[in-house]
Structure 1
Amino acid sequence: MDKFTYQYPVRQHFGKGCAESAIKEEMKQVGKNVLLAYGGGSLKRTGLYETLMDWLHECGKNVVDFGGILPNPTYDKVQEGAQLVRKYGIDFILAVGGGSVIDCCKIVSAQARLGEDIWDMQYTRHQFPTEFVPMGAVVTASGTGAEQNNGAVITHTAKKLKQPLVGAYHSFAILDSDLTKTLPMKQVVSGAFDTLSHCMETYMGRPQGDNLADEINEAVMRNVIKNLRALIANPDDDFARGELMWDSALAENSLLKLGKQTDFQCHMLEHAVGAYTDCNHGQGLAVIHPTLYRHLLSEGKEKLARMAERVWNVKGNTTEQTAALGIDALESFIREIGLPTRWSEMGITDETVLRAAADTCLLMPGCCKQFTRDELFEVLKEKL
């Protein structure tokens, strides 16, 4: 394993029914003016908005609304949030939702304390923010693990780019599986596949030899597969719901990445497609993963074969055959859980969009193969 220095910065409150006591405990320790950030309206439809407002008022907080954060959060929405923070003297940001809300707030937290544009700071001057508005997260849609780290993915609509930015870590994260029960199953499935993708992308990164991080990763991947099947079969399975929530956290809290370079070429490619199409993240990953891994068979067969045996429980007569059977098992699982395997199933039929995505996506050095843009275009085009 490579050298590392490790700190687990985010305080976790995990468990069914833990939200009320945990939120009240945490909010009593923060400043008076709170920005309540949330998504497109489900928070109010389910009654959780009123409940949260009651809890915050009990803690003596002045609450400023920051709603309407949609999937694939935008640079413009970040600027809107930063303006609210400055205008109302916000002391603390409470992000309530899934990865999109949480990612948006991480960058709001940083932008509000900057005297310059955060996109230019990171992509032109290659510098990163060091001061942030304190924040916490209440997770209502698991899968991204966004509450566990300081990375975010933001869409810059004017630039036609969807790329990572560095923002704030949360002071705490509330992981109460009861809060995910109103989420449609298709979103649960998409989120769980994002978790599986995080695991696979970390697993396929260098170094390729046996190491503890990868062995833990294999257990998390098996757990995602088992519990997603269980939850689809019985949406009232609270145990499976909680397991998937913790799987999501483990996949992105750096534990599986210790000593690893990681890969994440599938993610960067999906982000690029999303910048042009606003497609669902988990669905896009489901289309990309099997095809990209088939393009890795020559260079990555040893690791793909190990994943095939230890995660998918399949074995062929040769290493390459075992690797291929594992990719087939992954694609079969994608079909089993109802995710798309072709772009046309997502309404994406324009080859020029895929060409543009391949030409603008970030190229990742941690993969066992360094893809060219033409190769990435072939990966995308094969699934039209």
Structure 2
Amino acid sequence: MNNFIFENGTKTYFGKGCVKEYLSCLTKHYGPNVMFAYGGGSIQKNGIYDEVMESLNRAGKNIIRFPGIMANPTYEKVLEGAKLARENKVDLIIGVGGGSVMDCCKAVSMAAVYSGDIWADFFARPGIMDFEPLPVGVVVTVAGTGSEMNGGAVITNEELKIKTGRDYPKCNPKFALLDPVYTYSVPKKQMVSGGFDILSHIMEIYFSEPDEDNVSDDMAEALMKNVIRNLRAAIRNPQDYSARSNLMWDAAMAENRIIKLGKRMDFECHNMEHQLGAYTNCNHGEGLAALHPVYYRHIYKDGLAKFSRFATHVWGISNEGKTMKETALAGVEALAGFIREIGLPTSLREMGIDKADLKKIADSCGISAGSYRQLTHQEIFEIFKECY
């Protein structure tokens, strides 16, 4: 394995009833002013809003609401939250929702205390955070991004048409509350998209060097099989607690930095999807589903041994009578078949994306340094056309 330094500063509370049991006492360690951040109205319909409010009121907090965080949080929304936090002398931010809410809260925690432009200094390029952001706690309602256990935030600058993410350990939530029951009311489309995002995160770590025997790859294979099995189970029965709890922990494990240890990591699909999102505001999981099989058909020969192992260890495909190339390609086709099975789009056309925009989107994409073969912008454009 390659050298690494590991850090994770998030204390995680997992299981049924954890919000009611722990949130009130956790907030007592902070000052009186709490920003309660969330997205649309779903948490007000399913009872989560009331449960969080009750906990914060029980702790005697002055609650400043910050609603309306969108699916692809914008830099403008971050600045709105930062202004609100400064004006109200916020001591703690509580983000209740999925990855978009959590990411926005982390960016707000930086912008609220930083005197400069956090986009220019921390998102346009990696920065050195020599200050303490506002503390953040999260209540997770959607299994997907794994943002609950890292310092990562993906933000869209609408003016520049750039969607990018950075991971700063100081932005790790101080605590994360994961109640699988909170995910029951998530619509099927959102649940499946989130589930595929989990799988995508794991695959993009797995399909990178080193390829020698290592702990991270072994763990990644177990997690991928778990996601596939439990996503199928959750589709059959949305209130299958075992399936929902496994998916929730799969999401956290995919992005809490553990399986990234010693790996180079290939996030090219995420780079491509982020720019599709920056231009079209498309659904993140759907975009990844449309891209992954085509991207892997382009690069599998450059990582033949790992793709062959993916086919046999994750999908259970026999390599008997097959060349390594045939086995590897069979694994990619099994992934494509799974995407069709769970009902995600298999083309950009299905997502309503305008073909005329694909060239400029391709030219704006970042190039992953950790991939088996680095793409050119022209090849990204070819992938987009094949995905269409």
For Structure 1 versus Structure 2, the TM-score category normalised by the shorter chain is over 0.9
Equivalence for 1:290: 293
Measure the CA separation in 1 of the matches of 2:57 and 2:97. 20
Say whether 1:38 aligns with 2:42: no
Q: Deviations along 1:148-179, whole A, 9 cap, x unmatched?
A: 11111101000011111345110010010111
Q: Letter of the aligned partner of 1:239 in structure 2?
A: S
Which residue of 232, 250, 265 maps to 2:235? 232
Query: 1:70 aligns to what?
Result: 70
Task: Compute the RMSD of aligned alpha carbons.
Answer: 1.2
How many residues end up aligned between the 2 structures? 383
**Structure 1 residue 8: deviation in Å?**
2.5
Q: Retained in 1: the 8 A contact 2:19–2:52?
A: no
Partner of 1:160: 161
What aligned pairs does 1:1-384 form with structure 2 within 5 A after superposition? Answer: 1-122=1-122, 126-129=126-129, 130-167=131-168, 168-316=171-319, 317-348=322-353, 350-384=354-388
Task: Using the TM superposition, give the Cα deviation of residue 287 of structure 1 relative to its aligned residue in structure 2, in angstroms.
Answer: 0.4
Distance (whole Å) between structure 1 residues aligned to residue 124 and residue 305 of structure 2: 38
* Structure 1 residue 201 displacement after superposition: 0.1
Structure 2 CA distance for aligned equivalents of residues 210 and 125 of structure 1: 33
Letter in 1 for 2:203: M
Between 1:1-10 and 1:258-267, the stretch displaced more is: 1-10
The question of whether the paired residues in 1 share the 8 Å contact of 2:290 and 2:347 is answered with: yes
Inter-partner Cα distance in structure 2 for 1:239 and 1:125: 40
Distance 2:261 2:125 in 1: 28
The runs of at least 4 consecutive aligned structure 1 residues that moved more than 4 Å come to 123-126
* 5+ residue gaps, structure 2: none
Is the CA contact (8 Å cut-off) linking 2:34 and 2:94 kept in structure 1?
A: yes
CA distance in 1, matches of 2:212, 2:374: 18
How far the C-alpha of 1:208 sits from its partner, in A, is 2.1
SS in 2 for 1:296: helix
Between the aligned partners of 1:88 and 1:214, the Cα distance in structure 2 is: 46
Query: Identity percentage over the alignment?
Result: 49
* Native 8 Å contact 1:16 1:242 kept in 2: no
Relative to structure 1, the CA distance from residue 148 to residue 125 in structure 2 (aligned partners, 3 Å threshold; closer, same or farther) is closer
- Scaled by the length of structure 1, the TM-score of the pair is 0.97
8 Å contact kept, 2:137–2:176: yes
Length-normalised TM-score, structure 2: 0.96
State the SS of the aligned residue for 1:380. Answer: helix
State the secondary structure of the residue aligned to 1:104: helix
Task: Tell which deviates more after alignment, 16-25 or 63-72.
Answer: 16-25
Change in Cα spacing, 1:91 to 1:240, as seen in structure 2 (3 Å) is: same
Question: In the alignment, residue 88 of structure 1 is paired with which amino acid?
Answer: N
Whole-angstrom distance in 2 between the partners of 1:300 and 1:351: 30
In 2, Cα distance between the equivalents of 1:353 and 1:75? 23
